[in-house]
Amino acid sequence: MGTYRVCMCFTRKFAIKEAEPPSDVKESFNKYSEGGTHMSAEQLRRFLVEAQGDDKATSSDAEGIVQQILQKRHHLAKFTRHTLTLDDFHHYLFNADLNPPIGSQVHHDMCAPLSHYFIFTGHNSYLTGNQLTSDCSDVPIIKALKRGVKVIELDVWPNSAKNDVNVLHGRFILFVY
């Protein structure tokens, strides 16, 4: 047998797979798209008002955002659809150009010692009621973050199998009189 020299040209480009949207993004998309596969500009406006707290968002603002997202993600000048997919919505939420942080500048001089500043924190933020008998939940944490809390305390304990952790309010307390 002889030896052969082989020359191949590969023209296929492989796309980089993006991370799948987290479950809370999927839930928000399903809620505001009313279970559909696409979110309209009006549904996005409702999301901006209800979930993001942007009471001044208008339909034209939402339409402009949809156009920006579609142009940025799909690089097309004209679109046959004017709605967002789940991936488009996910991209919008985590894109600093399209959805920038509310404020990126520190508005205090921050030259004083740390003890001179008020830091809005949450103690036992995960409790649904009083400290002794209430249950743990993520709902109070979400409410605290929406109110502006910057620090959340969590009590993390190993589970019974010692292979994972649970967020609990300490161990059982026995009071003896």
Q: Which of 74, 75, 91, 169 is catalytic?
A: 169
- Tell me if residue 116 is catalytic: no
- Tell me if residue 169 is catalytic: yes
Please state, in angstroms and rounded to a whole number, the distance separating the CA atoms of residues 77 and 67: 9
Tokens of 126: 């995960």
Q: Which of 75, 108, 116, 123 is catalytic?
A: 123
Please state, in angstroms and rounded to a whole number, the distance separating the CA atoms of residues 126 and 139: 7
Active site members: 123, 169
